[in-house]
Amino acid sequence: MPERNRETLERFFRAFSARDGETMAACYHADARFTDPVFTLHGSDVGAMWRMLCQRGKDLRVESSAIQCRDDQGTATWHAWYTFSSTGRPVHNMVHSTFRMETGLIREQTDHFAFWRWSRQALGLSGVLLGWSPLLRNKVRASAASSLKQFVDSSHAR
């Protein structure tokens, strides 16, 4: 089973590098859970998020490394370079992901990154001054949730 899980994670990151949100979504269990510093998603919303990011991220570039699997657990480190659409600012996000696999699919994914570092790049001065605050994090969370809802409603992305 660990080999099957590793193959799923490798397929996921190959698809991410190719901006193929459909293949990424297919790597998830139907009852998947995704968590990062912005929000937590469940089920079909996880795949919809990746479809949205891949479709909208015209200059998105992703490189993954250190993909590891042991039993039903996996980890990976990855870097994403893109232009944050709300501000037009360039972002280089460094992420460490942990995975729990079930039946060869991603059941849980938790992404760790420095929100303040991200906010400084993506938001400029407001990120520098407020990136540490729950107020800014909640604003980013609400904006991301709204964008995902609009994407799902307009494209039937589920």
Q: What is the CATH number of the domain that holds 75?
A: 3.10.450.50
Whether residue 1 has pLDDT greater than 70 = no
Compute the average pLDDT of residues 43-60. Answer: 95
Scored b (16 or more CB within 10 A) or e, 44-61 reads bbbbbbbbbbbeebeebe
Average pLDDT of 133-153? 91
Q: Which domain holds residue 75?
A: 2-155
pLDDT score of 23 more than 80: yes
Q: What pTM, to 2 d.p., does this model score?
A: 0.91
Tokens linked to 58: 């015209």
Predicted confidence (pLDDT) at residue 156 exceeds the cutoff of 60: no
Cβ proximity of 64 and 77 under 8 Å: yes
Record the tokens describing residue 158, joined without a space.
Answer: 């589920």
- Taking the mean position of all CA atoms in its chain, how far away is CA 143? 15
Q: Total structural domains in the chain?
A: 1
Query: Quick one: pLDDT at residue 130?
Result: 87
pLDDT for 11 equals: 98
| Mean pLDDT, residues 40-62 taken together | 96
The pLDDT tens digits for 73-101 are 999 999 999 999 999 999 999 999 999 99
Residue type, 58: K
